[in-house]
Amino acid sequence: MLPFTFWVGLRFLRFKGKESFVSLITVISIAGVAVGVMTLMVVMSVMSGFDRELKDKFLGIYGNVVVTSGGLIYNYPARIETIKTVPRVEAVAPFVTGQVIIRTRNRALGVNLRGIDPSAEARVSKLGKYIKEGTLQPGDKGIIIGVQFARICRLRPGDKVIVISPGEGLLPGAAGSRREKFTVTGIFKSGMAQYDLELAYIGLPAAQKLFNLGDGVNGLSIKLDDVEYAHAARNQIAELLPPPRYHVRSWMELNKPLFAAIQVEKNLMFIIVMLITVVASLNIASTLIVAVKEKTKAIGIFKSLGVTEATIRKMFTLQGVLIGMAGTIIGCGAGLLLIDQINHVADFISAHFGIKVFPPDVYYFESIPARINLGETAIIAACALFISILASLYPAWRAARMEPVEALRYE
């Protein structure tokens, strides 16, 4: 049998004389909370997914720790062996990097060209897994390009391109401009539009020749067995390769402004979207205020029979809790469904209304990176319930303070 307070609270949520229907104002209140919870879940899941995917893509292309120098790093095999003595270091790969122009049959585009040792690079990054066409072995005159670049320039493995290196002063250690003809040997797809458009790879010896670097390299990429230890490993490597000649930075330091901006935006979006739930709570307060007016006679009867003010408060507070709980449950269910189908929804909007919800050239990724975080979901649900309880306190207090004589005077 239901407790008296709970039973009365449920009865008060119904229309007077129409007990089989929930009141319209109650439905609106539940819908308001549900929309607020659903919106907040979707926004936070997209922000969390964006943060996670950005980290995964960066770590998939670059190392966990990067060692560079004010100029070129010579005798890098010895430096690699030294770095491998640091705990948690799994692999080290040398690289050459610089800006170049790639000319094709119909256009010329600037890209960030990296010279790599394919076998070492495959152990440090996920480039080998990203190859969709061709191979990771560029050889002496091969080049690996991104899928976006290949699509724009209409290139396939076997096609020829001309790579033009920068002039003197545009690349540390380089002297003079060069141009070389390369054959596309591979096409990679990282899933991040910016990388797939702006990155290209050639063999390390070919890059050293193209940029006139001799036997030097621009840096060393390092992979750890656990990315969370990047800062600790960075400190240990920095002790072995002391500055100012060497600069050792973890992936967090390399992208600190970007990830800090994402976190700030995530916090701001939580606060802003939570205001939707706050506005919805005003409907709960309105519902209970109307309920107090409609149930004036019942309140007077209860109080004349000896029901305490605390019990009256519980009755109306319970209504707010039930409305908030119903809205939260519906909102969580709708939010989970929308998160699961968010890319299909975006495709539907794009196909039928011509609105590009998530353009890859603006947001880096080809699809919306939504990620469900159970901890964040629990916080959202708890906040919605807390706001619902707060909204019900004043109407419940007014009902409890009502005098029986005043309540029954006009009945």
Residue 39 or residue 193, greater confidence: 39
For residues 173-201, give the mean pLDDT: 83
Mean pLDDT, the chain, rounded, equals 81
Closest residue by Cα to residue 393 from 299, 315, 276, 280 = 315
For residues 72-83, give the mean pLDDT: 90
Report the alpha-carbon distance of residue 151 to residue 197 in Å, rounded.
9
Please, are residues 350 and 356 in contact by the beta-carbon 8 Å criterion? Answer: yes
Domain boundary assignment for the chain: 4-56+259-408, 89-224
- Rounded to 10°, the helix 76-83/230-240 angle is 130
Q: Which of 121-125, 203-207, 398-402 is the least confident region? A: 398-402
Please, are residues 284 and 391 in contact by the beta-carbon 8 Å criterion? Answer: yes
Confidence of residue 257 (pLDDT cuts 50, 70, 90): confident
Report the alpha-carbon distance of residue 360 to residue 346 in Å, rounded.
13
* Reported pTM: 0.69
89-224: what fold? Cathepsin D, subunit A; domain 1 (2.40.70)
Instruction: Answer yes or no: is pLDDT of 117 > 70.
Output: yes
- H or E segment at 164? strand 160-164
Q: Which of 117-121, 165-169, 271-275, 331-335 is the least confident region? A: 165-169
| Side-chain half-sphere exposure of 321, counting CA atoms within 13 A | 12
Instruction: Count Cβ atoms within 10 A of the Cβ of residue 78 and give its class: 0-12 exposed, 13-18 middle, 19 or more buried.
Output: exposed
Instruction: Answer yes or no: is pLDDT of 183 > 90.
Output: yes
Instruction: Provide the pLDDT for residue 116.
Output: 94
Q: Which of 1-15, 20-34, 50-64, 89-103 is the least confident region? A: 1-15
For residues 331-352, give the mean pLDDT: 87
For residues 202-217, give the mean pLDDT: 91
Please, are residues 159 and 94 in contact by the beta-carbon 8 Å criterion? Answer: no
Instruction: Provide the pLDDT for residue 176.
Output: 53
Highest mean pLDDT (candidates 36-50, 167-181, 238-252, 353-367) = 36-50
Q: Which of 89-93, 136-140, 164-168, 238-242 is the least confident region? A: 164-168
For residues 376-384, give the mean pLDDT: 87
Closest residue by Cα to residue 388 from 6, 7, 29, 24 = 29
For residues 222-240, give the mean pLDDT: 88
Q: Which of 102-106, 143-147, 157-161, 261-265 is the least confident region? A: 261-265
Instruction: Provide the pLDDT for residue 7.
Output: 58
